[in-house]
Chains A and B, each alone.
Chain A
Amino acid sequence: MTAANDEVLETVLEVSGLTKSYRSGSRTLTVLDDVTFSLVRGESCAIVGPSGSGKTTLLGLCAGLDRSSAGSVRLCGEDMAALDEDARAALRNEHVGFIFQSFRLIPTLTAVENVMVPAELRGDTKARQRAIELLTRVGLGDRTHHYPAQLSGGEQQRTAIARAFVNEPTVLFADEPTGELDTDTGRAIVDLLFELNATARTTLILVTHDQEVAERSSRLIKLRGGRIESDTGRAASFRDAVAARHVAGPADSRR
């Protein structure tokens, strides 16, 4: 790795010795055991593994949705353990986007209102305008005022993607984004995700069962029984792409 690349490969997520255990009666159940890895800006990483291997727990801990039993998570330079609930929420608002398996759109809000929420939470006065732009970009420009129940599964997930990108996040967490979609719709959603990941240089962390989706990521971490079974590491192609972009000029400027 060159010095120029080191400078550009800005670490956005650093997971070290992460462990999560629950007490169940007299037993201690360890769901995640000493997991360590880090991701840099723009990288896409698929976390795969059988059911119960700790994928969703890992995702939740990385996003600061839960607290670990041991180990640390640094997200965008912040030690999550040192932050209280509100500070973690503020960090998520600023740097994190989410995509859920069952979309998790707020059923009482229209598509545009759903997309606006993260921007409104940060006090963005142009929230509506940005939300409409994004919905148009994901192909829902004519459905902005529909409620989730009036949208198909694919449309709901596209709305969720628009919501995830409205604050131009540094990191995007996606939990089984195609889990509830048919193959064609799923493929279209994944295309959209990777396209936005590439153009906005967002770090993408996907939990998936879908081999095809996993293979499109630049990195693959396999979990089993709460431990990392295998990690492909940072792909050479990704490093080359970053280097090429660095030579060409800075990436799309963020707000």
Chain B
Amino acid sequence: MNLRWHLTMAWRESRGSRARLLLFVSSITLGVAALVAIHSFGDSMRRAVDDQARALMGADMSFESRRPFSKTVEALADSLGGEQARRVSFSSMVYFPAGNNTRLASVRAIEGDFPFYGDIVTEPPEAAHTYRRREAALVDGSLASQFGVKVGDTLAVGNVAYAVEGILKKTARESAAFALVSPRVYVPLSGIDTTLIGRGSRVTHEIFFHFDDTVDVEATLAKIKPRLREESVGSDSVDEIKRNWNNALTNLYKFLGLAALMALLLGSVGVASAIHVYVSQRLTTVAVLRCLGARIGTTFAVYVVQAIVLGLVGSIAGAILGLGVQQLLPVVLADFLPIDVRFAVSVSAVAFGIAVGTSVTVLFALLPLLAVRRASPMMALRSAAGVDRGRGIDWLKIALVALLVLSVTAIAILQGPHPLVSMAYVAAVGVVCGILASIALGTTKLLRRMSTHWMPYVARQGIANLYRPNNQTVMLLLAIGLGTFLVATFLSLQHVLLNQIDAADERGRPNLVFFDIQPDQTEAVEDIIRSRGMPVVETVPIVTMRLHSVKGRTVEAMRRDSTAHVTWAHRREYRSTFRSYLTDTEQVLEGEFATGGYNPGDVVPVSIEADIAEDLSVGIGDSLTFDVQGVPIQTTVGSIRSVEWRQVRTNFFVVFPAGVLEEAPHFNVIVTRAETEAASGGAQAAVVREYPGVSSIDLSLILDVVEEVFDRIAFAVRFMAAFSILTGFIVLGAAVVVSRVRRVEESVLLKTLGASKRQVFNIMTAEYVLLGALAAVSGVILSSVATFALARFVFEAPFVLPLPSLGVVALAVVLLTVGVGLVTTRGVYARPALDVLRVEI
């Protein structure tokens, strides 16, 4: 006896069940499809980043600084040779006189032929090359459509007016999602309103280099990097850009991969459940084979071969479907991608999908197949002989379960962005599945014990179906419940986050902020605001500074020391304020907030935000020295605060006491409230016209942006969740089909005993309604618990539930369950009774 016999026998044995078996494996097809689509797309994306890295960067190398480049850096740049271009980027209000509109935008002032690689895509196309020569501007598509800006219109950045030369469609290094948050305006560097980029403004200065191919850019950069660091100048090369983008994009598709894995796991559990019933129907055949002299291993192998072939067929079908889905992904993710990702079949992704799909299916199928080993050959003589449950522990089963958990964790680790995330994911899936399974087990036990004699016959029978032998209640509740859980959690979370932003717009709360106001302009701006009937809620001074040293050790020294823990908190530019009171968005966690002002000569007690304190590893009493635009100021951590960041208020990482920074160069921020959008727009235009250097942002803009971004993420997430939900219903279909034989038998017996078609139909409907309701309610309740936990501990937002939407989800789940159930059981009653009673089932 050989492999060929096993294959032949597996093939023969599957006759009459192949359609059913294919339906089982279609449960994994969607999971594999999602996995292959995402991996293959990921590969295409990496290839695209590699191919287009120079275009992404626009140059071979760049320097970047928050301050104008020093003479040393300028000299260094000149010594490198090659072609250079410069860019100065800053946020500024842009004024469109045609509609009297203003909007905060990212202004990019460019000198030279940047980008050297790749194109700025504009409408009309030639505008990308002519705007500098003609001293005109390019405007982001989103901004142009917001205000109906056309080519030839005028806009003003500061006190300089530009004609709109073209509309920006695509630029290097920036994705469309970014442009949503901060729309871009390109202007030539020469002729810019220099007051906008003066001291105190947030400006990024960049030099871009273009070398011929003989220059080893990486080596050059490695050589000069220490000197650049000394000057606080950052640098980038194509390789770094490549690495950064690859990391970012890899994380994106790996997260999506975990969603795909969810669908695959769900499908595999479905396969296992279907195989369980399938095998229980095959035990007599197994017993006969054993009587005829087949060894335990031989009969087991026949079914394992079937499982492998099933896994392969399902996975190959999934891989083919996945390549189709891959073509859709660029559409779904278009706004997050800065580059064109061309469709290409990734052989490794297809192989990965098929390997993972097949192995997960086989592993899950092996669990129910273990029953084959214990089928008593006596069953051939007496059906009641059944499966020999054996005495003692089934070590093979335990080993298999362990192998299963390990394999799923390994695949998740292979798939996920970080081992910890993957393990947390496996644990979370395990917990949710465990709870759902417990609910199912508890419910079936409860239903079995419940006294149902007072119910109508149809309802009693429907309930009894949920706990009859070989029922799949646990499996179905798991599959449908998990799908419901995913959809409901996502929906609730979206509601929690949007509700939180909406809540910020309550009556009386500030919703409009003016910033970059010079001290001598402050009063005048306040007057403009008040003259429009709006309150000045607060005027806050802001001083920019950097950290010089932490606990006596300079940041520079720490950066040179590879063992020191240097974070973003060490490197960043701080915009701090000074005041002697706490705002209602702050709470002191440790120490004492200095309310009494500061006496010259004392050490300055500052208040630090809790997360920053953690990043800097400082506590109460530790010393921090800030470089306030050239002047070192020694401080000590006097208090640590928590800050509610989500209010439209000025919030700070570092707050100085009154009496220290009053004389330092600073600008002011004014917080106000506009009752209507028109009032907000009018005030912004009035201020910007008078003081072009002042910028503003209002809550409606933030809300719009967040909603827009959320919608796009939601689309991508729903796209992936759809795989899990669809899988859930395929599992349901398969479960109903697999138990069809039993249902036919039951319905025929009922029919023979005088049940009407309607009664049989009602019994099945009662069963599916109960099943659907149980799954929907469990899923929604679990999702509410998860949303509560996420809202409370992750997003720190008030817990609210979108009850009407959840109701709709629950109802849809019940209807779909009943629909899928009844569609797959159709025709059961129509079977002639005699046929069924005669045929051995």
Contacts of B15 in A (CB 8 A): 108-109
In the assembled complex, how far is the CB of residue B490 from the closest CB belonging to chain A, in whole angstroms? 44
Given contacts A56-B381, A65-B376, A65-B378, contact A89 B294 (CB under 8 A): yes
Contacts of B99 in A (CB 8 A): none
Measured in the bound complex, the distance between the Cα atoms of B377 and A93 in whole Å is 13
Beta-carbon contact of A92 and B295 below 8 Å: no
Contacts of A175 in B (CB 8 A): 381
A133 contacts chain B at the CB level, 8 A cutoff: no
Within 8 A of B (CB), among A70-96: 85-86, 89-94, 96
Contact with A along B120-154 (1 / 0, CB 8 A): 00000000000000000000000000000000000
Beta-carbon contact of A94 and B293 below 8 Å: yes
Task: Give B297's nearest chain A residue, CB to CB.
Answer: A86
Contacts of B288 in A (CB 8 A): 100, 104, 106
Contacts of A117 in B (CB 8 A): 9, 289, 292, 294
In the assembled complex, how far is the CB of residue B303 from the closest CB belonging to chain A, in whole angstroms? 13
Beta-carbon contact of A98 and B292 below 8 Å: yes
B520 contacts chain A at the CB level, 8 A cutoff: no
Beta-carbon contact of A100 and B380 below 8 Å: yes
Given contacts A56-B381, A65-B376, A108-B16, contact A120 B291 (CB under 8 A): no
Beta-carbon contact of A102 and B378 below 8 Å: no
Beta-carbon contact of B5 and A92 below 8 Å: no
Q: Which size bracket describes the interface of A in this complex?
A: 35 or more
Measured in the bound complex, the distance between the Cα atoms of B770 and A234 in whole Å is 65
In the assembled complex, how far is the CB of residue B5 from the closest CB belonging to chain A, in whole angstroms? 6
Measured in the bound complex, the distance between the Cα atoms of B28 and A215 in whole Å is 59
Contact with A along B274-300 (1 / 0, CB 8 A): 000000000011001111111111100
Contact with A along B344-388 (1 / 0, CB 8 A): 000000000000000000000000000000001110111001000
Contacts of A107 in B (CB 8 A): 16, 285, 840
In the assembled complex, how far is the CB of residue B370 from the closest CB belonging to chain A, in whole angstroms? 15
In the assembled complex, how far is the CB of residue A204 from the closest CB belonging to chain B, in whole angstroms? 16
In the assembled complex, how far is the CB of residue B302 from the closest CB belonging to chain A, in whole angstroms? 11
Given contacts A98-B380, A100-B380, contact A63 B292 (CB under 8 A): no
Contacts of A108 in B (CB 8 A): 12-17, 285
Task: Give B293's nearest chain A residue, CB to CB.
Answer: A93
Measured in the bound complex, the distance between the Cα atoms of B292 and A65 in whole Å is 11
B1 contacts chain A at the CB level, 8 A cutoff: yes
Measured in the bound complex, the distance between the Cα atoms of B291 and A85 in whole Å is 11
Beta-carbon contact of A121 and B382 below 8 Å: no
Given contacts A109-B12, A109-B13, A123-B1, contact A60 B296 (CB under 8 A): no
B839 contacts chain A at the CB level, 8 A cutoff: yes
Given contacts A100-B381, A108-B12, A108-B14, contact A92 B291 (CB under 8 A): yes
Within 8 A of A (CB), among B1-26: 1-2, 5, 9, 12-17
Beta-carbon contact of B381 and A121 below 8 Å: no
Q: Chain A contact residues: over half helix, strand or loop, or mixed? A: helix
In the assembled complex, how far is the CB of residue B316 from the closest CB belonging to chain A, in whole angstroms? 24
Beta-carbon contact of A65 and B293 below 8 Å: no
In the assembled complex, how far is the CB of residue B385 from the closest CB belonging to chain A, in whole angstroms? 8
Task: Give B295's nearest chain A residue, CB to CB.
Answer: A86
In the assembled complex, how far is the CB of residue B763 from the closest CB belonging to chain A, in whole angstroms? 28
Task: Give A86's nearest chain B residue, CB to CB.
Answer: B295
A122 contacts chain B at the CB level, 8 A cutoff: yes
Contacts of A93 in B (CB 8 A): 292-294
Q: Which of B5, B381, B839, B840 is in CB contact (< 8 Å) with A65?
A: B381
Most buried by B among A107, A109, A148: A107
Contacts of B298 in A (CB 8 A): 121
Given contacts A106-B288, A107-B16, A108-B17, contact A121 B378 (CB under 8 A): no
Q: Which size bracket describes the interface of B in this complex?
A: 20 to 34
A113 contacts chain B at the CB level, 8 A cutoff: yes
A149 contacts chain B at the CB level, 8 A cutoff: yes
Q: Which of A89, A96, A113, A122 is in CB contact (< 8 Å) with B296?
A: A89
Within 8 A of B (CB), among A42-78: 56, 59-60, 63, 65-66
A226 contacts chain B at the CB level, 8 A cutoff: no
Q: Which of A63, A113, A123 is in CB contact (< 8 Å) with B291?
A: A63
Contacts of B294 in A (CB 8 A): 89, 93, 117, 121
Task: Give A120's nearest chain B residue, CB to CB.
Answer: B5
Most buried by A among B291, B294, B382, B385: B291
Beta-carbon contact of A106 and B381 below 8 Å: no
Within 8 A of A (CB), among B667-705: none
Contacts of A90 in B (CB 8 A): 293, 295
In the assembled complex, how far is the CB of residue A153 from the closest CB belonging to chain B, in whole angstroms? 10
Task: Give B298's nearest chain A residue, CB to CB.
Answer: A121
Contacts of B285 in A (CB 8 A): 106-108
Task: Give A108's nearest chain B residue, CB to CB.
Answer: B15
In the assembled complex, how far is the CB of residue A100 from the closest CB belonging to chain B, in whole angstroms? 6
A163 contacts chain B at the CB level, 8 A cutoff: yes
Measured in the bound complex, the distance between the Cα atoms of B384 and A56 in whole Å is 12
In the assembled complex, how far is the CB of residue B298 from the closest CB belonging to chain A, in whole angstroms? 7
In the assembled complex, how far is the CB of residue B13 from the closest CB belonging to chain A, in whole angstroms? 5
Within 8 A of B (CB), among A116-162: 117-118, 120-123, 148-149
Measured in the bound complex, the distance between the Cα atoms of B316 and A137 in whole Å is 46
Q: Which of A85, A113, A121, A123 is in CB contact (< 8 Å) with B292?
A: A121
Contact with B along A207-219 (1 / 0, CB 8 A): 0000000000000
Beta-carbon contact of A106 and B297 below 8 Å: no
Beta-carbon contact of A113 and B12 below 8 Å: yes
Contacts of A96 in B (CB 8 A): 293
Residues of B within 8 A of A (CB): 1-2, 5, 9, 12-17, 284-285, 288-298, 376-378, 380-382, 385, 839-840
Residues of A within 8 A of B (CB): 56, 59-60, 63, 65-66, 85-86, 89-94, 96, 98, 100, 102, 104, 106-109, 113, 117-118, 120-123, 148-149, 163, 167, 175
A100-B288, A104-B291 provided; 12 other pairs, C-beta below 8 A? A65-B376, A65-B380, A86-B297, A89-B293, A89-B295, A92-B291, A98-B380, A108-B16, A109-B13, A118-B292, A121-B5, A123-B2
- 9 shortest interchain CB distances as A-B pairs: A93-B293, A108-B15, A65-B377, A86-B295, A92-B293, A118-B292, A65-B378, A104-B288, A98-B291
